[in-house]
Amino acid sequence: MNKHEPTTAELTYVRGAPAVQLRAPDGAQATVLLLGAQVVSWIPAAGQEQLYFSDRAHLEEGKPVRGGVPVIFPQFDQLGPLPKHGFARDRRWKLVRAEVGGDDALAVLHLGDDEATRRLWPHRFDAELTVVVGGARLDIELAVEHPGPADARSYSFTAALHTYLRVREVEEASVEGLGGLRFRDKVRGVEDWEHRHRLTVDQEVDRIYFDTPKPIVLHDGRRRVKVENQGFKDAVIWNPWVEKTASFDDMAPTDFRRMLCIEAACIEEPVTLRPGEHWWGRQTLTAYS
Ligand SMILES: O=P(O)(O)OC[C@H]1O[C@H](O)[C@H](O)[C@@H](O)[C@@H]1O
């Protein structure tokens, strides 16, 4: 990344919700809501919108936003005592800085503990989300620090970047890069090994793939999106299909056809931090059309 010049953050509103608009010199753009530090739009330079963002999404504090890239912390799904997917996704984050460099634009947002988070999860933390957009790439990095004090207890958490990729028609899309991996299938309630070179979706899919070392590639007609996860060892593939979508009040009944989630996650091995330690995980998306 080049030297960044500080600029006045371009604050905007997305359907009435405050957001930061990032514009790189080459025209690549991303929009990040303060609510949940959620990226809800990503348009690469000379490209098209790459993310699915529901027209019916709720945009109020305390409710998750359907689409874009929800930040899941400190609990994935219902794998613990906290509300589903933790609390980071439905709280308002603070914009720390927004800058434009020679090749890209970036924003850093912060969420720390407060009385309400400590009531749910009795720990101190500093979470930072960094979003960098430029060219054909979008980088999203989640960093979490245990600020201490030195005699505080260590703690563990699970986390994810729950990326909703837009597709033209999900039954015609496919996902490459998961062959040979072990996965947990939440729909069937079993563990198995992936034998397909390319995964296609023609029913509900909700799978956690473990130890995903290689890039995962979404194929959507001629368009491809390469997904590279660092620090996140697991990947989740999710599409709610007909029935589950019908139970959502924040998604149109046929919208499951327009999206496929490829999530970066830390689920099987939670992250443990001692006072003073930090962790980070990053998802890099590259669009080819
Ligand atoms: O509807 P949400 O609370 O946003 O959760 C959406 C989905 O997130 C993940 O992909 C989980 O694996 C799914 O089981 C869950 O349904």
HSE-up (13 A, CA, CB side) for residue 174: 11
Task: Give the Å distance between the CA of 241 and the centre of ligand 1.
Answer: 12
Three-point CA angle 201, 204, 209, nearest 5°: 75
Of ligand 1's listed atoms, the one at least distance from the Cα of 244 is: 16
Task: Give the Å distance between the CA of 77 and the centre of ligand 1.
Answer: 6
CA-CA-CA-CA dihedral for 188, 156, 234, 237, to nearest 10: 50
Q: Give the model confidence (pLDDT) of 93-127 as tens digits.
A: 999 999 999 999 999 999 999 999 999 999 999 99
Q: Whose C-alpha lies nearest to ligand 1, atom 8?
A: 77
Rg of the chain on CA atoms, in Å: 18
Q: Whose C-alpha lies nearest to ligand 1, atom 11?
A: 77
Full residue range of the structural domain in which residue 14 is found: 4-288
**C-alpha closest to that of 77 among 200, 229, 210, 186:** 186
CA-CA-CA-CA dihedral for 262, 76, 281, 177, to nearest 10: -30
ipTM of the complex: 0.98
Contact 285, 138 (CB under 8 A): yes
Q: Give the model confidence (pLDDT) of 162-190 as tens digits.
A: 999 999 999 999 999 999 999 999 999 99
Of residues 1 and 289, more confidence is placed in 289
Task: Give the Å distance between the CA of 175 and the centre of ligand 1.
Answer: 19
CATH number of the structural domain spanning residue 215: 2.70.98.10
Q: Give the predicted TM-score (pTM) of the model.
A: 0.96
**Distance between start and end Cα atoms, the chain:** 24
Counted domains in the chain: 1
Q: Whose C-alpha lies nearest to ligand 1, atom 13?
A: 206
